Each structure stands twice: as structure tokens, then as C-alpha cells.
Amino acid sequence: DTGVSQDPRHKITKRGQNVTFRCDPISEHNRLYWYRQTLGQGPEFLTYFQNEAQLEKSRLLSDRFSAERPKGSFSTLEIQRTEQGDSAMYLCASSFRTSDNEQFFGPGTRLTVL
Amino acid sequence: KQEVTQIPAALSVPEGENLVLNCSFTDSAIYNLQWFRQDPGKGLTSLLLIQSSQREQTSGRLNASLDKSSGRSTLYIAASQPGDSATYLCAGRDYKLSFGAGTTVTVRA
């Protein structure tokens, strides 16, 4: 257990539905990252926050995706109008902004869009 | 954009053999390099972090080296055990991680 938690662990939804995932980082970490991983591939960067500010969004993050970190603690990732291509593992990581910036990952949320 | 490649994609060895996993990256301006382990359907566990000013890191049976000039990192696992069976991922970065596709290791008892 790295100290980063994600909820839910698994989500099955029908195409067109909205889904929301939550990530609770390690409490003293001020940076939070979202990644997406498809089968057989390494994770791909989606977005990251420093405190409550969203500092970068990948081109992978279409308009259907939105992420928030309202109080600089937990974060949510929402996908609207899900598509089958959204099926993936969504991973959250956190780090403390230091020179090494080591990232610690949560267990992930497995999304299946039917 | 940082491109990370891991070779081989899969590896099967008998218990007790040493493992050598390779990682190459295209941008020598890599900041730090981190090695992870991932079990099937699980999240990532950080194994070793090599800062840009370092050339290697060791933890128990694991040793990772970093050669920025050639754009390569190598993870060595000594005296492999069946419990080492997993996918190993390397990631280079500045603040965000760029991952390779991983090497899936099977250690046969």
C-alpha cells in the first residue's frame, strides 16, 4: 500500500453514461497526477495538479474529460458520454515537489465501457 | 517528446538466474528515471529512483544504472525468485512520467 487510494476499483458502465473517479493522495503531497493505461501498454500522462491548480493537460484529455482538485487534497476525474475506447485503467499518483519528485501510485480504477 | 523503449518485451527464466532489463529513451535531457513493478490488474510499485546526477541505485537484490549520454538505463535483479514475476516499467521524466511498454518477467520455479 503506497498511501494513495482510488475509488472505485472497478467500474462497468454503458456507452454514453457519465462516470466519476476519485483519488486521495498521500496527505502531505502537493502534486497529483492522472494517467491512463491500456492493455499491454505503459501508462500515459493525462493531467497534473500542483495544489488546486491544474497545470497541464495532455492532448489525450478530450473535452469529455474533466479533472478537479478543489481544495488541493483529493481529486476527481469525470468522463462524460463514455465511449468504448475509454475502457482502460485510470491511475492516480502523487508526489511532493522536491528535487527527486518521486511519484507514488494508487491501485487504479479499471473502467469497462460496454 | 520523450520516447521510452523497453527490451525485451517478455522474459522467462528459471529461478535463481539473474535478470537484465533494458530501457532506452530518446531525450538525453531526462531529469530522473524511475523503475516500477506492476502485478496483473494492479497499480504501480516504485522500485528505484535514479536522480539525474546519479549513475545507479541499489535496493536489496535490485540495481539500476543510468547512462544519460547513451540514453539507457538497466535494471538488474539478482538471484530471481518466482515472486519476482511481474511487469517492470521504466519511466523517464521531468515532472511527468513517460513510460515504456514494460518487460513482462516470468520466473519459473
Taking only the tens place, the pLDDT of each residue in B42-94 is 899 999 999 888 899 999 999 999 988 888 999 999 999 999 999 999 998 77
What pLDDT is stored for residue B69 in this prediction? Answer: 85
Closest Cβ opposite residue A91 in set B4, B44, B49: B44
CB proximity B100 to A under 8 Å: yes
**With contacts defined as CB-CB under 8 Å, which chain A residues touch B46?**
2, 102-105
What pLDDT digit, counting tens, does each position of B4-38 carry?
Answer: 899 999 999 999 999 999 999 887 666 788 999 99
Whether B43 and A107 lie within 8 Å, measured CB to CB: yes
Which pLDDT score is estimated for B54? 87
Residues 6+ positions from A49 with CB-CB distance below 8 Å: A31, A32, A33, A55, A67, A69, A72, A75
pLDDT confidence of residue B28: 67
Residue B108, classified by CB atoms within 10 Å of its CB into exposed (0-12), middle (13-18) or buried (19+), is exposed
**B37 contacts on A by Cβ (under 8 Å):** none
Per-residue pLDDT of chain A (114 residues; tens, 9 = 90+): 779 999 999 999 999 999 999 999 998 899 999 999 999 899 999 999 999 999 999 988 889 999 999 988 999 999 999 999 999 999 999 998 765 678 899 999 999 999
Contact A105 B44 (CB under 8 A): yes
Question: How far is A66 from A22, CA to CA, in rounded Å?
Answer: 12
Positive or negative, the CA dihedral B106, B55, B50, B79 is: positive
Cβ count near A82 (within 10 Å): 21
> Phi and psi (nearest 5°) for A6?
-135, 145
pLDDT score of A99: 56
pLDDT, mean of residues B96-108:
93
Identify the pLDDT of residue A96: 86
